[in-house]
Amino acid sequence: MKTLSIGIAGLGTVAQGVLALVAANRALIEQRSGVSVNVVRVASRRVKPEVDLCGADFSTDVMDLLADSRVDVIVELIGGETLAKELIVGALEQGKAVVTANKAVIALHGNELSRQRLRFEAAVAGAIPIIQALQHGLVANQFSALSGIINGTCNYMLSAMENEGVDFDAILARAQALGYAEADPTFDVDGIDAAHKLTILMALAFDTDFEFDKVYVEGIRALTPIDISYAAELGYRIKHLGILRSSPDGIEARVHPTLVPHSELMAHVNGVLNAVQVVSDAAGKTLFSGPGAGGAATASAVVADIVETALNPQQPIADRNSSAAMTVRPIEDISSAYYLRIPTRDEPGVFAEVTQILSSHNINIDAVIQKDSHPQGGSVDIVILTEDTQEAQMNKALSQLEALATVTGPVMRIRVAPQD
């Protein structure tokens, strides 16, 4: 039986989940892995006397974990970037292993950290063992594409907007009341959290550097129940996806609202669930789905990493071949089909103007919806689904469309999921 002494930084929802899971399933973990996990120190800024620390010592300075010679593995669960990174670097310099759920630190600083004794399964998609799958279960495969719902807050909000017809502001307030969204929801609803996670998946799946600044990011603030309804008429659901695709020209790395066909399993992943679909040469198309957040779900991934640290103490989670790094393509070079909602005056000849501009940019139309006058403003929505078009061409067309006197507001543009 291997004995592993751990120190936990933080005492929030995930840290409490780790403590509870170790206490409840200690015998099961030992039976399955041959590893005995002992919590010897917990450090957090605030004392929480109601939490069972499993007999561990407690302090209010997380740096005490570095000074405690008993600690073999530091479990970083404080979040944020500055202090968390300082703790991680300090631990690695001392030869201690680190397990973290901190996607921001890994996405932004992974190039300097990832070749060391650092594991971060819990940083992406909660309980879903997607990093284990990429690194071990699918190790014999060449990956061509990966896409996923990797932010539970956005998925909950879009599911509720679809089911209830409520607008963004109303459903955000509810998500905050339920604890699904933070008081400052920027990281979630503007796509930054998902982009952090996609950066990690890109580095692991395609042996690239961690290049967060090259991921294209859009959030969900502009989406309306009207768009969700129109998408349904066309046979789609709107999901906030992270998308990776490789080609001879490089990697597509983008996070944005996406039309997903009703026929795809991804379209039916609702609420706070996450899902990641991987396309590879031998295994084909595989879909991983499960809880993407929450104390118990994320704790499951954290404890799995702790045990793996004991079983494979010298093996880093990622060992990238920098000579094989691929270029990340700018969004302007990427081709996609598009959903366009164009608010126009209710006048003859408007549709002809719209189609003429699209045609002049070699943009072909796949489907059209044209409704009666909008009850709030007397305008008419022209909804168009295009065939695949390069983003740069679409941008030029949208500029011309929005300059028309008959177009009464910004054009809503949503990309369609690629068919991999």
CATH topology of domain 2-123: Rossmann fold (3.40.50)
At 367, is the secondary structure helix, strand, or coil?
strand
Q: Is the pLDDT of residue 315 over 70?
A: no
Query: What share of the chain in percent tops pLDDT 70?
Result: 95
| Amino acid at position 83, single letter | L
Beta bridge partners of 273: 291
CB neighbour list of residue 205: distance below 8 Å, 6 or more residues apart:
134, 143, 146, 244, 278
**Window from 39-43, 142-146, 188-192, 292-296 with minimum mean pLDDT:** 292-296
CB neighbour list of residue 220: distance below 8 Å, 6 or more residues apart:
154, 157, 158, 168, 189, 191, 240, 257
At 18, is the secondary structure helix, strand, or coil?
helix
Catalytic, 214? Answer no
Q: And the tokens for 296? A: 């118990």
Q: Is the pLDDT of residue 286 over 80?
A: yes
pLDDT at 292: 85
Distance from C-alpha of 83 to C-alpha of 158, rounded to nearest angstrom: 33
Q: Is the pLDDT of residue 376 over 80?
A: no
The CATH number of domain 130-290 is 3.40.50.920:
no
Task: List the chain domain ranges.
Answer: 2-123, 130-290, 335-416
Q: Is the pLDDT of residue 372 over 80?
A: no
CB neighbour list of residue 409: distance below 8 Å, 6 or more residues apart:
343, 379
DSSP E strand boundaries for 262-360: 273-280, 284-291, 335-336, 338-344
pLDDT at 371: 73
At which residue do the structure tokens 């795809």 appear?
264
3-state helix, strand, coil in the chain (%, to 5): 40, 25, 35
Q: Is the pLDDT of residue 377 over 60?
A: no
**pLDDT tier at 321, thresholds 50, 70, 90:** low
CATH topology of domain 335-416: Alpha-Beta Plaits (3.30.70)
At 58, is the secondary structure helix, strand, or coil?
strand
Catalytic-role residue among 197, 239, 285, 371:
197
